[in-house]
Each structure stands twice: as C-alpha cells, then as structure tokens.
Amino acid sequence: MSIAVVEIDRKAILHNVEYLKEIVPDSELIAIVKANAYSHGIKGIAELIHDRVDGFGVARLTEAMSLRRIGINKPIVILEGFFLRDNIWFLIDFNLQTIVHSPWQIDLLRDFAGESLITVWFKLDTGMHRLGFNMDEALSEFNRLANCPVVRKPINIISHFSSADELTSQQTLQQIKLFDDFIASIQNKSLIGKCSIAASGGVLAWPMSHRDAVRPGIALYGVSPFQTPVAELQPAMTFKSELITVRPHKQGETVGYGQIWTSSQDTKLGVVALGYGDGYPRSIPENTPVLINGRRVPIVGRVSMDMIVIDLGNESQDKPGDEVIFWGKGLPVEEIATLTGISAYELLTRLTTRAKIHYIN
C-alpha cells in the first residue's frame, strides 16, 4: 500500500488509562485530547475512553465543539479559556467549562447577560508565568469572579507546573506551596470547587500534587513526559510506512538533495514512502535509526517531503512492501526525541493529516 500510517493500539491506550487510575485512585481523571489527541485522533480516542474517564480537556473552543458534535457528553474543559465575548454563547450552548486566567475575561463574564450558568476554573499562576493570575492579584480577582452572576459556584481552581519533569527541582514543591497558600487564603470556603494542578509529570512523579482532578495528556498515549520511557506505560502509536523499492548503491555515490551523504561502501538503499510532509522532522542527525524486519538501520541523505532513504546494507534481503517503523514498538519515540533534540510532544503533534490513522485491537 506504501503510505505513511499512524497505527494506534487501542489496548495500549486502555491499559494506560487503567494504570493512571491505579496510581491516582482518589482523583478525577480529565483526559487531555488537545491537538487531535496528540495526533492519535480525537474522535477515536474520546470514544474509546469515554466511559473510563471523568472528563476531557482541550486547548481551544473549536476542539471542544468538535467533541460535542461527535456526541461526547462528559465535562469538557477548555484549557486556554475563551478569547471573545461571543465565545461565551458557545460555552453555554455546548455546555463547556472554561479556564479564566485574566482580568479582561472576568470583565466579559461580569457584563454578560444570560440566564444560564457557566462552570469555570480559576487559573492561578504559581510559577509557570504563562497564563493565570499573579499571586498578589489572585484573591481579589477570585472574589470578583465569584460575584459574576453567570459563574456557577463553587469555582474550580487550577494551576500548571513548569518543571514537573525535573525530578530534583525545588520548583514543583514551591508551586504546590503557593497553590495551597492561595486556597487557604480564600475566606469563604464554600466558594472552593475542585482543585487541579497535575498533568502527566505531576501524576507520575509528584503524588502530593494529585488533588481532586488530574489532567494527563502524553501519559495516556503511553509516552513519557520525562527523557526516558516509563516502564508501566504502553506506547500506543507506531509511525510507519513501507519500502517502495530497494536499489544497489556503489561506494562513493551520494543520495538525495544536497548530496549530504556519501556511501563508504557498496550497499543497498531502501526508499520509504514517508517524509516531512507526513510530519517526520527534516532536521535529524546522521544515523537516526528506523526499524525494518527487526533490525535498526540508519536514515541516509536528506529527509525529503515524501520519501526517506535508508541504508539496508549489502547483505539486505528486504523487499518492496516491507514495513519500516520510524517510532513505536521496539523504537521508542523518547529515543528519537533524545537523538533529534525534538521533544516527544512535538514529534507526536507535528504529524500531518496525510499520515492516515489506523486503529488496531
């Protein structure tokens, strides 16, 4: 068939959900399915795990609306919040929960005239310094939010770690302390809803951060938020294609654009139907491996839009149609991340729609 395929093992996803529930038995599990479920297919993943999770998290309003349109009726949290006044109508019509991270959003909610109530998550900046209220304005802004008629009480409280993947860093403990200090400073305790601070890193490495709800993304897909794979997780994705052809190649001959590689010996080259147009990075170091018939061989020459050339070696018995794996079982995406300096998060989410998603199991 010779096309780039993103093969997703459903059983692995279900295993990961069960594992996460096992290590976080007392918190709600909000499954993060932004960016097309990290390229695993938002529809396929949401439908697969719908009955096993407590809710879903996405970055954008459009992602949340697409979940509702395919019939997902669990709570959905928009992690970036709403951008415009008219977005508030969609929050109501689609029954979506929003993060509130800025004073101007509270102004819009305060001035909004409507009967319905919106469930909100008050975002506290405990050290990420991206979105969220500063510690010194947080309490007064929280009270202002609580006074908006359209806002459902109690108000959920959320924050995000900047360095949960750094296991010896003091930053995470400091962020937890600020989170707790803020919650303690709220006088009217009945205004305090669910509290959530842990994404995958917090879930796996910082048990004291679990609280009422956890928000794992990458761990659901079996990929580690750290440098190295997590043994208990099962990677769900195999990114692969097939050999289009195998050609003899002489010592001293180059291959591909810019002639950046010259063979030091007679060999056989395989041409694979997958390229940067499918989302494989163009900028990779020499000798980045792929997996073919159970062995690792290097990519040679420049990655092109639709094809990649691999050095099969002179003794190769590989033939057109043989499967070539770029990451997945036997070649962890974490390893490609380390080799290329492109994080596993980016490797997953940069896949393009030309690479077709196939579900197995």
Task: Please pick, from the candidates 215, 240, 249, 302, the single residue that binds ligand PLP as defined by CB under 6 A.
Answer: 215
Task: Please pick, from the candidates 6, 56, 90, 160, the single residue that binds ligand PLP as defined by CB under 6 A.
Answer: 160
Choose among 159, 113, 156: nearest CA to 133.
Answer: 159
Which lies closer to ligand PLP via its Cβ, residue 293 or residue 343? Answer: 343
Q: Interface with ligand PLP by CB under 6 A: which range of 2-10, 217-225, 229-237, 292-300?
A: 217-225
Q: Identify the burial level of 126 via C-beta atoms within 10 angstroms of its C-beta, where 0-12 means exposed, 13-18 middle and 19 or more buried.
A: buried
Least distance (Å) from ligand PLP to the CB of residue 201?
6
Instruction: Check residue 33 for interaction with ligand PLP (CB under 6 A).
Output: no
Least distance (Å) from ligand PLP to the CB of residue 333?
13
Amino acid (one-letter) located at 350: R
Instruction: Check residue 32 for interaction with ligand PLP (CB under 6 A).
Output: yes
Q: Interface with ligand PLP by CB under 6 A: which range of 13-21, 63-71, 109-117, 195-203?
A: 195-203
What is the Cα–Cα distance from 213 to 85, expressed in whole angstroms?
Answer: 28
Instruction: Check residue 224 for interaction with ligand PLP (CB under 6 A).
Output: no
Task: Please pick, from the candidates 16, 156, 200, 224, the single residue that binds ligand PLP as defined by CB under 6 A.
Answer: 200
Catalytic pick among 11, 19, 21, 34: 34
Binding mask 63-102 for ligand PLP (x = CB under 6 A): ----------------x-----------------------
Instruction: Check residue 225 for interaction with ligand PLP (CB under 6 A).
Output: yes
Does residue 257 carry a catalytic annotation?
Answer: yes
With contact defined as beta carbons under 8 Å apart, do 16 and 222 qualify? yes
With contact defined as beta carbons under 8 Å apart, do 139 and 96 qualify? no
Task: Please pick, from the candidates 216, 235, 279, 328, the single residue that binds ligand PLP as defined by CB under 6 A.
Answer: 216
Instruction: Check residue 218 for interaction with ligand PLP (CB under 6 A).
Output: yes
Q: Interface with ligand PLP by CB under 6 A: which range of 184-192, 199-207, 234-242, 246-254?
A: 199-207
Amino acid (one-letter) located at 184: A
Residue 265 DSSP symbol: S
**Whole-number Cα distances in Å, 104 to 154, 200, 277, 293:** 21, 30, 40, 57
Which lies closer to ligand PLP via its Cβ, residue 18 or residue 286? Answer: 18
Instruction: Check residue 44 for interaction with ligand PLP (CB under 6 A).
Output: no
The residue number whose beta carbon is nearest to ligand PLP equals 217
Task: Please pick, from the candidates 44, 193, 217, 235, the single residue that binds ligand PLP as defined by CB under 6 A.
Answer: 217
Total residues contacting ligand PLP (rule CB under 6 A)? 13
What is the Cα–Cα distance from 146 to 135, expressed in whole angstroms?
Answer: 17
Which lies closer to ligand PLP via its Cβ, residue 29 or residue 272? Answer: 29
Which lies closer to ligand PLP via its Cβ, residue 31 or residue 269? Answer: 31
Q: Interface with ligand PLP by CB under 6 A: which range of 83-91, 197-205, 246-254, 276-284?
A: 197-205
Binding site for ligand PLP (CB under 6 A): 32, 34, 79, 160, 199-201, 215-219, 225
Active site positions, annotated: 34, 257
